[in-house]
Structure 1
Amino acid sequence: MASSAWIDRDRFLEASYSGLMKCGQGYITIELNLADPIEIGDFVGLFAAIGDQYDRFIKSSRPDLAGESKIFIKEIRKGSIITEIFPFIPASLIEFMDEAIIIAMFAQFFGKQIKDFILGKTEPNATKNDLKDYLNVVQAVANDANGHATISTTTFEKGVWRTRADFSFTTKEAREAAATIEKQRLDLDRTSSSDRERQLMVFKRSDRGDAGLGIRSGERVTIEDIDRRDLPLIYASELAEQRIKHEIREADRNIYKLGFVVDVNIQLRAGRPIAYRVTAVHSVIDLPDDESP
């Protein structure tokens, strides 16, 4: 029977399958039913992808933490492979929520991403690495003549193991998801830009050091008329850099309570701003107290 006792990372990595079943609170099961033999790269890629996404899921909840997992192939028979993934959950995260809840939340979150791709919906916050992982998850089934995959979670609740099928997809659906993912990957590779004049720019992170022209400086700014997010700053003009660096290094005013009226070239990827290239600084103004960070 499972115990709620938490085990540390070293004990988790050394634990056997039976040991994890005794002390763990849940695991994820992947069942592949395939008409054709699976290519080993697709097989390995599937589990590596889910492990990577689990790690990112944990980090999104607690950026200071990293997740890990152990994978066991439970059963292989003709046309079917059953694999179980036991995720390691850091103790400091368990302080905030139950281990079984964390596992269920991850499966639901990841399942929604795959379902959206099947429906032709892109994921606006997905990175290239995310898209690579999603593609690896569906690739084995997409390459099969008539395959099917089911991903479920099993959690220990009130003294009983309970299994829930979180999501599944067929070869047809996997191919639809793969097509959506590939389209989004191509869109991410297309970077364009647009110009805006006399925009109010406010610093969220500054740096006293010099920055090379045309490369990201490490500084971050907001231009709320364009995007409420803070984005990387790129100096496209020496005069603009000199004017801004003067305020950072030599002026008596607080850089975070100043507004810079600038001309800016917006770097876009898939139609979304990803950085600002400042080409000119027209003026520097003091922000009202209620507008400063």
Structure 2
Amino acid sequence: MSEAKLTIKIDNTKPVEIMDFTDSFKSLGSQYYKFLSESEYFKLSKTTKFYIKEVRTGSIITELTDLVPLVIPFVENSNSVIEFSAFLKLSYDYLLGKTDAKPKEFDITDCNNLNNIIKPVAKDKGSNMVFTGDFNFGDVTIEMNFNSVEANAIQNAITKEKELLKEPELNKKTKMLFYWDSAKYNSKSKAIDRGIIEAISKSALKVEFENENIKSKMLDIDFNPFHMAYVVDVEIQEIKDNPVLYKILELHDQFEQ
């Protein structure tokens, strides 16, 4: 049995929507497992989970604990619940601007979990959420609490974090008609691979390939490649919204023009 527990108390002013409550604890469990899987100090098993030990009346008070000894033997004085509680506190302190220390580079899953965990209080003006991580034996206690204003501030910060994570969308087109303008047959050739996809641009653009096998299929044929048309999937790279390069991703078909 674990010697540590995480107690969560929700002082709500109105009934908590069941989906918000379940999303909160589902995301808490998800983030706990993710935290352990990324840590060098703990090892996971199929039974690694966060368990609700007790739900008390009055305010919504929930005690959670792990029932599996996860700590690697050579790491002393470490406990998964306490380490996870410390991670949560540092994450929320960072998102509230209380510290510049970021516990890790958040990914989308981190952002969604951290957002959902505090959802019940973010939606309830005047409510409060208290997290307390402590040992049954020892002096270690980690406590954090948020009111609805702070919870909303955290969610706004998470939205900004997610914006930073967004990758630019690749402009991909499928089954486009392509034909050669010029082609570099070997390393000694001074020619440049250029091709035309009239549906995108009337100009010949530089061409790259997802892999060399695609290029070989387009050039190493019994017919003159410059008399052929090719059906390809392509990624279009642009500068200032103008196409400048085609990256051929897949060849579907080819036929004489």
| TM-score scaled by length of structure 2 | 0.59
Identify the residue that residue 223 of structure 1 maps to in structure 2.
none
Given candidates 200, 208, 211, the residue that maps to 1:241 is: 211
Identify the residue that residue 64 of structure 2 maps to in structure 1.
85
Residues 1-293 of structure 1 aligned to structure 2 (within 5 Å)? 23-62=1-40, 65-66=44-45, 67-77=48-58, 80-91=59-70, 93-98=71-76, 101-119=79-97, 125-156=105-136, 160=137, 164-191=141-168, 237-238=208-209, 241-242=211-212
Contact 2:121/2:127 (<8 A) preserved? yes
Q: CA deviation at 1:124?
A: 7.0
> Using a 3 Å threshold, how does the CA distance of structure 1 residues 142 and 170 change in structure 2: closer, same or farther?
same
Identity of paired residues, percent?
Answer: 20
Quick check: which has more Rg, 1 or 2?
2
Structure 1: how far apart are the matches of 2:91 and 2:60?
Answer: 23
Task: Tell me which stretches of 4 or more aligned residues in structure 1 moved more than 4 Å.
Answer: 120-124
| Structure number with higher helix proportion | 1
**Once superposed, what is the RMSD of the aligned Cα atoms?**
4.0
Unpaired runs of 5+ residues, structure 2, are 171-206, 214-235, 238-245, 248-257
Q: Deviations over 1:238-269 (max 9, x none)?
A: 3x7339xxxxxxxxxxxxxxxxxxxxx99xxx
Contact 1:89/1:99 (<8 A) preserved? no
- Letter aligned with residue 87 of structure 1: D
Structure 2: how far apart are the matches of 1:100 and 1:65?
Answer: 15
- Letter aligned with residue 81 of structure 1: I
- Number of aligned positions between the proteins: 186
Structure 1: how far apart are the matches of 2:68 and 2:96?
Answer: 30
Contact 2:96/2:154 (<8 A) preserved? yes
SS in 1 for 2:7: strand
Unpaired runs of 5+ residues, structure 1, are 1-22, 194-235, 244-264, 267-277, 280-293
Structure 2: how far apart are the matches of 1:73 and 1:155?
Answer: 16
